[in-house]
Structure 1
Amino acid sequence: MTSFSIGETDFLRAGLPRQVIAGAIHYFRVHPDQWQDRIRKARLMGLNTIETYVAWNAHEPRRGEWDATGWNDLGRFLDLIQAEGMDAIVRPGPYICAEWHNGGLPNWLTAGERELRSSEPTFLADVSEYLRRVYEIVAPRQIDRGGSVVLVQIENEYGAYGSDKAYLQALVALTRESGITVPLTTVDQPTDQMLDDGSLPELHKTGSFGSRSAERLATLRSHQPTGPLMCSEFWDGWFDWWGGVHHTTEVTAAAADLDELLAAGASVNIYMFHGGTNFGLTNGANHKGRYLPIVTSYDYDAPLDEAGNPTAKFFAFRDVIAKYAPVPDELPAAAEPAPVFSVPLSAAGAWTDAAASAPSSSEPVTFDELEHLSALVRYDVSLPEGRGGQLVLEEVRDLAWVCVDGRPVGTLSRTRHDRSLRIPSGRTLSILVEEGGRVNYDHRLGEQKGLIGAPALDGVALTGWHSTPLDVAALAAEIGSRAAEASAAATTGPSAWVADFDLDSPADLFLDTAAWSKGYAFVNGFFLGRYWRNGPQRTLFVPAPATKTGANRLVVLELEHLLDATADFVPSLDLGDTEE
């Protein structure tokens, strides 16, 4: 067995100094059949370690329904890292941020009134049960037991959130009681306050930053006087949000910053080596005065792009790493164009017109009260005396389409800070609300979704609401299972569309959504994610394992309208305009 420890100046692997040169790959953002490919390419860039978060809400979306198989098979992911001759760093949170919905915390955990990320007893009890399950997977895979894991992180950038030392101490005690023997670390941005609040004396402090390495390492050293310096989140790119631009970093500048880190003898974890995709409804959101949901792509301008292909940054980083560590002679294959073709979309009818069969309530029921994990809830209420007027909402989270007797009236957007709309006379007011992504940072974790509070018409509260949850994946599966048939195309309002196409063999594909408005797309039942003409993202990545030889079926659930009822598959990613 091999040991891994912290010495006076270095990490020690089998007693010898080890400069950790790691890269982040989140197993939950990559199709499991493509894990091995991404890990191998990390080794070919010269990395010796893979880092991953653990997303609690991916493993346990509903209380007590723990899943560590398939996409959630953390054990298999760690075993593949070992098989490639690499080490692993595990960051189980429980909070991970990561632009992942709710920062990785399950909705059922955050729906109550408990104090999150604290030593509050009920929160700590749930966290302890979660961590024990994770450590059942991680403990036997530690390096001193013949596995790959060399470091485990406690919490995540906690100094940016709180300063509850009893909470951190409880996490450490539980971690050690669960058989974790490798060194324990924390990570914070290199400011005095965050480094002080986010760690304990017995934990090894690391930093998160993407530039000005010498200055930030000096700050870190003032708080971590002995042992190796480590930037455990070297930000080599950035994430995108709907309505923004595609963020990139200049390749030579990023390589120079990496060179500065490695020349200083610091260890590093490149965040991200391969970003992957927020498949399904897993994107997070940020809110610093304005709600900004994260796009489906998590390309991050990383050395491997969203589809796992090497970029210019891959080769620039590889050249830098070669100055400090052995780099394999082998190079990954260059990207090849994906199959290019177009197929017509056939209309499959309306898909959000479920009958208002939900029980009546005085106010709209939130997603959280409904324990609803999908993207949409439809709210219906009878208008008093059939009259219209000024509709005022306390808050909509996050985007609403308003109709009266089935006729579209307008939209209300949290991002735009909308709260009011004049509606015409009619019998029934219907408001379709989309949860656009749960905030993943700071103190908005776990906030309720849906219509918040009591909507009013001309100052009088509307009562007798029916709150009907709509499961978009289940609806897409039902539509996709039907035999192809002609249907009258809906010109306005939500409509479903289907297209069939053949492939000679499974292949990565890039679905161009620029001519569609807003909605969700599925291939053979696999939930690709959200699309939105608001941009910047124009393509959805279709991983090859989601396709098959012969017949394939695309299902599109459009919320507004299509400019062109065609599905275009293009040769490569198009993530939108950059700032340059």
Structure 2
Amino acid sequence: MLAFLLLLSASATKLQAQAVKHTFTLSDNAFLLDGKPFQIISGEMHYTRIPRGAWRQRMRMAKAMGLNTIGTYVFWNANEPQKGHYDFTGNNDIAEFVKIAREEGLWVILRPSPYVCAEWEFGGYPYWLEKEEGLQVRSTESKYLEAYHKYIMQIGKQLAPLQINHGGNILMVQIENEYGSYGADKKYLALNQKMFIEAGFDGQLYTCDPEDAIKNGHLPGLLPAINGVDDVARVKRLINENHDGKGPYYIAEWYPAWFDWWGEKHHTVPAEQYLTRLDKVLAAGISINMYMFHGGTTRGFMNGANYNDKEAYAPQVSSYDYDAPLDEAGNATDKFMKFRAVIEKYLPAGVALPEVPSAKPSMDIPAIHFTQTFGLFDQLPVVRLHTNPQTFEDLNQAYGFVLYRTTVAGGKTGTLKIDGLRDYGIIYINGKRTGILDRRLKQDSMQVTLPNGKVRIDILVENLGRINFGPYLLKNKKGITGKVLFDNTAVKNWYSYGLPLTNLNLHGKGIETGAGKPVIKKGGFDIKKPADTYLDLSNWGKGTVWINGHNLGRYWNIGPQQTIYVPAEWLKTGANDIEILELIKTEQNTISGLKTPVLNKLNPQ
């Protein structure tokens, strides 16, 4: 009975604590929490990039470094993957993410799109916006505003009740995202504000932009925040100039490192380059959000890509380690410990940081041998014939692969050209791999010899990630977006097979590897106790890995990433399943797990 009464008392205390309402307002120089100056020391981490079972552990690490707040985007394409179909379950349960932060004593700064950038597919926009004829993202165009309005109303239902002025822990909400780097339409920004308020976001709203874009991206009347500047005098000047000579002062994105893309070196920056800068910012009372505090992993096919007129298409890797204070697995790094020491100097009187949790256990996994091999081309859906190749969007398909197939008369040699290849095409002649075209390398054509008789041409095209930044946001259709030409004559009559690989559902008998055709290999392994591991794919070619049905992301031996992180939360004591789609080195048949990642090894292309 005593135990029951103690439990009842504890529960009542917890409920009472959660019911306490706070206020969050702005003075000319500071944020005010319950009327007292409050310095936001925040770190960005994204619910979609961390296994749900690890959310709480990551938040406790944030507390241990001295953070009092976490920032997160809300990803439209995760929460409305198909038009009108919303998903706030599992890893997409953003409301639960915010509630767990409250339970762990953390405030939240919410960044609910519509556009996020974030090295995320299409900058967070759902692929189906590309299907709407005439739709213009980040504009006052009616189709866009209609879709955006429906979406933000759903987000409001999930999150508006969790704002601080409603008894929750969301301090501020950001409208749009670095809009000044894209446009200067104040009417569009004002519509954002209006829709946010209609959705229930009636607390503190703000905008954020880099220095050269703050005038275009700021909406008068809202707090302007600055990205990528940490010189105290410049921060204050930029915000004062755009906020009637007043603060408070908030660096919405402070970059302790950077992200990676395929075929380029791994980015790291020593902590020492940031310590003095962090110290000066905190000493000046400026609030800050580290982007990223913890990057996590961009799993599935959700990585974005960069592209502009001067630089080639550059898709990002699956690891979002970011050289952040917390590594991909959620462990403290050298940067974490050194940032913690700086932050500790500025804690309120009487406040002590919790002990830093020890690193999570990791394990080696001996060689796993695959026992079944399935041909990807044996898993094709039923389709219709079209005169021209169908894009992903034509097929109502967001991500993955599309196989294009046609038959032509042979007995000739010529140039096969793919107009508008997006993004990676493997060409097969009569079932045998003949060549590869890679958008990153600006390849769109090759010489081929067609044998005598009827010849089957297959082109397997992978969406390597839609552009997430810049003026090409609306030129993001995938697959073969133009025509296929042989010696300048359009090749007609194509079957376009969608292969989203959202659920493998492998069928048919296993096959022997041959002719370089893509395969899906299936196997299993036993473990005594789940722990983190890193699958070593350095001897494989290119593809995707699933563990126990979870898509862990892409691998590609060009690097710099050579391993894929497997979180303990997605492993089971005893038997575990693994599948690998391999496109290039189809003869490989074993894989092992390492205790540490390999993120910095490039291979000649």
Which of 313, 317, 325 is residue 339 of structure 2 equivalent to? 317
What amino acid is aligned across from residue 144 of structure 2 in structure 1?
F
Matches within 5 A, 1:40-189: 40-112=60-132, 113-189=134-210
The offset of 1:336, in angstroms, is 3.5
The answer on whether the counterparts of 2:230 and 2:281 sit within 8 Å (CA) in structure 1 is no
Amino acid at match of 2:384: P
Larger displacement relative to structure 2 (139-148 or 99-108)? 139-148
1:508 equivalent to 2:529? Answer no
| Cα displacement (A) at 1:178 | 2.6
Q: Which residue of structure 2 aligns with residue 539 of structure 1?
A: 563
The equivalent residue for 2:326 is: 304
Whether 1:473 aligns to 2:494 is: no
Distance in 2, Cα, partners of 1:504 & 1:217: 55
Distance 2:135 2:52 in 1: 35
Structure 2 CA distance for aligned equivalents of residues 40 and 138 of structure 1: 22
The TM-score, its normalising length taken from structure 1, stands at: 0.95
1:424 aligns with one of 445, 449, 454: 449
1:371 aligns with 2:396: yes
Q: Any idea what the Cα deviations from partners look like across 1:16-69, whole Å, max 9, x if unmatched?
A: 000000011100111111101101110111100011000000001100111111
Partner of 1:117, secondary structure, is: coil
Aligned-partner Cα distance in 2 for 1:353–1:415 = 29
1:24 maps to 2:44: yes
User: Match of 1:341, as an amino acid?
Assistant: P
Change (3 A) 1:563 1:214: farther
Structure-2 change in CA distance of 1:56 and 1:327 (3 Å): farther
Q: Which amino acid aligns with 1:200?
A: L
What do the CA deviations read for 1:226-257 (whole angstroms, capped 9, x no partner)? 12111111111111000011111111112222
The aligned counterpart of 2:11 is: none
Q: Is the 8 A contact 1:347 1:490 kept in 2?
A: no
Contact 2:25/2:31 (CA < 8 Å) preserved in 1? yes
In 2, distance between residues paired with 1:393 and 1:523? Answer: 34
Over residues 151-176 of structure 1, what are the superposed CA-to-partner deviations in whole Å (9 max), with x where a residue is unaligned? 00010000000111111111111222
Return closer, same or farther for 1:546/1:276 CA change in 2, 3 Å cut-off.
same
Query: Which sits farther off after the overlay, 492-501 or 395-404?
Result: 492-501
Q: CA deviation at 1:564?
A: 4.3
Q: SS of the counterpart of 2:376?
A: coil
SS at match of 1:439: coil
2:553 — aligned with what? 529
Per the normalisation by structure 2, the TM-score is: 0.91
1:215, distance to aligned residue in structure 2 (A): 3.5
Per-residue deviation, 1:347: 4.4
Secondary structure in 2 matching 1:472: coil
- Distance of 2:531 and 2:395 partners within structure 1: 39
Q: 1:341 deviation in Å? A: 2.1
Change (3 A) 1:213 1:397: farther
Gaps of 5+ in 2: 1-20
**Structure 2: which amino acid aligns with 1:263?**
A
The answer to which of 492-501 and 259-268 deviates more is 492-501
Q: Which moved more, 1:421-430 or 1:520-529?
A: 421-430
SS in 2 for 1:129: helix
Distance in structure 2 (CA, Å) of the matches to 1:210 and 1:351: 48
TM superposition outliers: structure 1 runs of 4+ over 6 Å: none
* 1:488 is aligned to 2:512: yes
CA deviation profile, 1:420-464 (whole Å, cap 9, x unmatched): 111111411111101101110012224111112121111211111
Matches of 1:91 and 1:412, distance apart in 2: 37
C-alpha distance in structure 2 between counterparts of 1:97 and 1:432, whole Å: 28
Describe the superposition over 1:243-297 as per-residue Cα deviations: whole angstroms up to 9, x where unpaired. Answer: 0111111111122222222122110001111101111111111113300100000
AA aligned opposite 2:84:
G
- The corresponding residue for 1:362 is 387
Aligned: 1:348 with 2:373:
yes
Q: Distance in 2 between matches of 1:490 and 1:498?
A: 17
The one-letter code of the counterpart of 1:442 is G
Please identify, of 316-325 and 423-432, the stretch whose mean Cα deviation from structure 2 is larger.
423-432
Identity of aligned residues (%): 38
1:346 touches 1:486 (CA, 8 Å); kept in 2?
no
Asked whether 1:443 is paired with 2:471, we answer yes
Residue 567 of structure 1 is matched in structure 2 by 591
Q: What is the CA–CA distance in structure 1 between the aligned matches of 2:76 and 2:322, rounded to whole Å?
A: 22
Q: Give the distance between the partners of 1:321 and 1:356, measured in 2 at CA.
A: 56
Task: Give the AA of the match of 2:101.
Answer: I
Q: Distance in 1 between matches of 2:40 and 2:164?
A: 14
CA contact (8 A) 1:357 1:466 kept: no
Provide the rounded CA distance (Å) in 2 between the counterparts of 1:453 and 1:346: 40
Contact kept in structure 1, 2:362 and 2:532, CA below 8 Å: no
Q: Are the counterparts in 2 of residues 404 and 428 from structure 1 also a CA contact under 8 Å?
A: yes
Counterpart Cα distance in 2 of 1:200 and 1:531: 42
Aligned letter for 1:390?
T
Matched, 1:549 2:573: yes
Residue-by-residue CA offset, 1:46-105 (whole Å, 9 max, x unaligned)? 100011000000001100111111111111111001101111110011000000000000
Measure how far apart 1:201 and its partner are: 1.0
The one-letter amino acid of 2:182's match is: Y
Question: 1:469 offset after TM fit, Å?
Answer: 0.7
Alpha-carbon distance change, 456 to 577 in structure 1, aligned in 2, over 3 angstroms: closer
Deviates more, 1:212-221 or 1:293-302: 212-221
After superposition, the Cα gap between the structure-2 partners of 1:37 and 1:228, relative to the gap in structure 1 and judged at 3 Å, is same
Q: Which amino acid aligns with 1:126?
A: A
CA-atom RMSD in angstroms: 1.8
How far has the Cα of 1:386 moved from its partner?
Answer: 5.4
Verify: 1:241 aligned to 2:261, yes or no. Answer: yes
Of the structure 1 ranges 204-213 and 315-324, higher mean CA displacement relative to structure 2 is found in 204-213
Partner of 1:434: 462
Q: 1:334 is matched with which residue: 359, 380, 385?
A: 359
Q: What's the offset of the Cα at 1:354?
A: 4.6
* Contact 1:272 1:302 (8 Å CA) reproduced: yes
Q: Which stretch of the first structure deviates more once superposed, 260-269 or 569-578? A: 569-578
Structure 1 gap segments, 5+ residues each: none
Change (3 A) 1:442 1:563: same
In the TM superposition, residue 346 of structure 1 has moved relative to its aligned partner by 3.1
Question: Structure 1 pair 201/472, CA: closer, same or farther in 2 (3 Å)?
Answer: same
Q: 1:371 to 1:537 in 2, by over 3 A?
A: same
Distance 1:81 1:65, change over 3 A: same
By how many angstroms is 1:385 displaced? 5.2
> How far, CA to CA, are the matches of 1:281 and 1:153 in structure 2?
26
What is the rounded CA distance, in whole Å, between the counterparts of 1:490 and 1:49 in structure 2? 54
Q: Give the equivalent residue in structure 1 for 2:15.
A: none
The residue that corresponds to 2:4 in the other structure is none
Cα offset, 1:554, TM superposition: 1.0
Matched, 1:261 2:281: yes
Q: Deviations over 1:371-401 (max 9, x none)?
A: 1123110111111355442112222110100
**2: CA distance between counterparts of 1:355 and 1:496?**
13
Distance in 1, matches of 2:587 and 2:206, equals 51
- 1:492 and 1:172 map into 2 onto residues whose CA distance is 53
